[in-house]
Structures are given as structure tokens and as C-alpha cells.
């Protein structure tokens, strides 16, 4: 665990760095073993002073799962609130940066990374099942629903790792909203999106994009997930982290949303 000391007058922070082996140890203690398939949402700064930065974290994740046996997936999302049928996204798998953090942006540039072709909620993967998990994402009717990497991971016994972030960052909840046929999270009309693949070829796909503006309260599921054994807590470096069983998460949350589609919506007091 990172230790910090401060020289008051000089204003100099003297830190012990977090190494790759430290991160691998912490991942193991949290429950990530060789052969695992994990979707990782992350905050690099939350871990502490990582020796080698984002690449060290990526190397540790790959060492933990063993890319010859398991797979690491990261969200490389490019969606924004301005995208709609009148302002469709233009997505280039090589050149369109993601906004999901330093780790995913570094990850997607790796030579062995495979990035999906969805124009709003793409993911990137490295490992033995990277191709199988990424393929066809551009043909999905919605960004996170049936056939997406988020959906496939949940059907394959995969895990969601929230490394230094909370349930607020768990994009898989949008997949569950899709499965439960929640109406408010998708735009009502499809958008014709332009996708440029790794060979520079252009493709057009008509997709129902995410609808922005509805505030969620996903963290209310934190305690139920712990009590049901769906989720485990631990530290990775200094980062408070969560490891979630994707299948259990889907089954529990989908049942809630089928009973009350607005269960996870942050509604003002007195609203209906």
C-alpha cells in the first residue's frame, strides 16, 4: 500500500511507488485469477504513484488473467450528449479517442488490442477471447445490449472490476436497462452512424443511441451486492475497488427493473 510523507516547508511529497507486482498481488487478493475475463473501469490517479503509469496497470491486469488464458476488456466510449439523428457520430476505430480515462486510452493503442466498432460505446480487449468478444458490436441495435461485449461478458461468467471508481461508472447497467426494456435510456429514433474500420473502410450503421439527461443512483446497489455475494471489496494500491460477478449482477438488477423501471432513477422528492 502506498505510503506518503510530507516535508512541510519545502512542500515536497516523498512517495513510495506502487509497482506492477504490488498491483498483481492486490488483484489476486480481490479474486482475479488466471483465465478470468474482466471488464475494467478505472481511475489511474486513485491507485497512487504508479511506477510506469498506465502501462504498468495494464501489464498487471494482463499478468493477473494471463492473456493466453483470459481476457482484459476496457470501455473506450466516445459518445456525447450532442449526438443524435441530426448530429450523427463519425467513429474511426484508430483515431477517435475515448473519454473513459488514461488506462483505456493507453490500452486501445497497444499493438495486440482489438477495439470494437460500435460508434458510441466501443470497448477494447487483449487476450485469448478478445476477437470473439469484440466482433459484431457495430451490428448491435443498441450500444450496450444484446450481442455487445457488455452482454457477452455477462453470459460467459465474466467479472466487472471497478478499479478506484464506484458503481456510477458501471456501463453494464445500461446493458441491463436494455434487457429490462427500460424506455428512457435510448433515443426514440435511430441514428445513421459512420464507422471507419482498421483498414480505412467506411461503414454505415443505424443505431439507437444513448439518451442523456436522466440521473441514475446506481450506488444504492452497493450494499445489496455485497450482502448477496455478487460483489467483493478490496484495495488496489490506494484505490478502493470492487469486483462484481457479471451474471449475478444482471440477474438481480434486471429483476428489480422489470418490477420498477425507475428503481435506479434519481427522482426528486414528490415526483412520480
CA distance 17 to 53: 10
Cβ contact 122:98 at 8 Å? yes
Does the pLDDT value for residue 8 go beyond 70? no
CA nearest to 231, candidates 223, 239, 243 = 243
% the chain with pLDDT above 90: 92
Kindly give the residue spans of alpha helices, DSSP state H, lying in the chain: 20-30, 44-47, 54-65, 102-108, 130-134, 149-155, 172-179, 222-228, 246-259
Provide the sign of the torsion angle of the four alpha carbons 253, 44, 131, 71, taken in this order: negative
Kindly give the residue spans of alpha helices, DSSP state H, lying in 76-129: 102-108
pLDDT of 12: 56
pLDDT classification of 147: cutoffs 50, 70, 90: very high
Does the pLDDT value for residue 270 go beyond 90? no
Instruction: Tell me the pLDDT tens digit for each residue of 181-221.
Output: 998 999 999 999 999 999 999 999 999 999 999 999 999 99
Task: Spell out the residues 6+ positions from residue 201 whose beta carbon is closer than 8 angstroms to its own.
Answer: none
Does the pLDDT value for residue 107 go beyond 70? yes
pLDDT of 14: 54
pLDDT of 248: 98
Instruction: Using DSSP bridges, classify how beta strands 159-163 and 239-245 pair: parallel, antiparallel or unpaired.
Output: antiparallel
pLDDT of 16: 77
pLDDT of 272: 41
pLDDT classification of 9: cutoffs 50, 70, 90: very low
Does the pLDDT value for residue 13 go beyond 80? no
% the chain with pLDDT above 70: 93
Task: Spell out the residues 6+ positions from residue 246 whose beta carbon is closer than 8 angstroms to its own.
Answer: 39, 153, 154, 157, 158, 159, 160, 172
Average of per-residue pLDDT values in the chain: 93
pLDDT of 171: 97
pLDDT of 255: 98
pLDDT of 7: 36
pLDDT of 259: 97
pLDDT of 120: 98
Mean pLDDT in residue range 2-12: 42
pLDDT classification of 271: cutoffs 50, 70, 90: very low
Mean pLDDT in residue range 151-176: 97
Instruction: Tell me the pLDDT tens digit for each residue of 47-60.
Output: 999 999 999 999 99
pLDDT classification of 227: cutoffs 50, 70, 90: very high
Does the pLDDT value for residue 64 go beyond 70? yes
Amino acid at each position: 500500500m502506498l505510503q506518503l510523507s510530507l516535508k512541510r516547508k519545502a512542500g515536497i511529497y516523498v512517495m513510495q511507488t506502487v509497482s506492477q507486482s504490488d498491483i498483481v498481488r492486490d488483484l489476486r487478493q480481490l479474486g482475479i485469477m488466471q483465465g478470468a475475463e474482466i471488464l475494467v473501469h478505472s481511475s489511474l490517479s486513485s491507485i497512487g504513484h504508479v511506477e510506469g503509469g498506465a502501462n504498468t496497470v495494464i501489464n498487471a491486469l494482463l499478468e493477473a488473467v494471463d492473456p493466453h488464458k483470459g481476457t482484459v476488456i476496457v470501455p473506450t466510449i466516445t459518445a456525447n450528449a450532442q449526438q443524435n439523428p441530426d448530429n450523427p457520430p463519425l467513429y474511426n476505430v484508430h483515431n477517435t479517442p475515448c473519454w473513459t480515462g488514461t488506462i483505456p486510452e493507453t490500452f486501445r493503442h497497444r499493438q495486440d488490442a482489438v477495439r470494437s466498432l460500435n460508434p458510441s460505446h466501443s470497448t477494447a480487449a487483449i487476450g485469448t477471447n478478445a476477437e470473439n468478444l469484440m466482433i459484431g458490436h457495430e451490428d448491435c441495435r443498441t450500444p450496450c445490449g444484446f450481442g455487445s461485449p457488455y452482454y457477452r461478458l455477462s453470459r460467459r461468467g465474466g467479472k466487472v472490476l471497478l478499479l478506484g471508481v464506484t458503481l456510477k461508472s458501471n456501463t453494464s447497467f445500461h446493458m441491463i436497462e436494455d434487457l429490462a426494456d427500460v424506455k428512457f435510456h435510448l433515443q426514440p429514433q435511430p441514428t445513421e452512424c459512420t464507422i471507419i474500420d482498421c483498414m480505412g473502410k467506411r461503414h454505415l450503421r443505424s443505431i439507437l443511441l444513448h439518451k442523456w439527461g436522466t440521473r441514475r443512483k446506481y450506488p444504492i446497489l452497493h450494499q445489496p451486492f455485497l450482502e448477496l455475494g455478487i460483489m467483493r471489496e478490496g484495495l488496489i494500491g490506494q484505490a478502493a475497488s470492487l469486483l462484481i460477478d457479471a451474471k449475478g449482477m444482471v440477474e438481480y438488477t434486471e429483476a428489480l427493473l422489470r418490477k420498477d423501471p425507475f428503481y435506479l432513477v434519481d427522482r426528486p422528492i414528490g415526483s412520480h
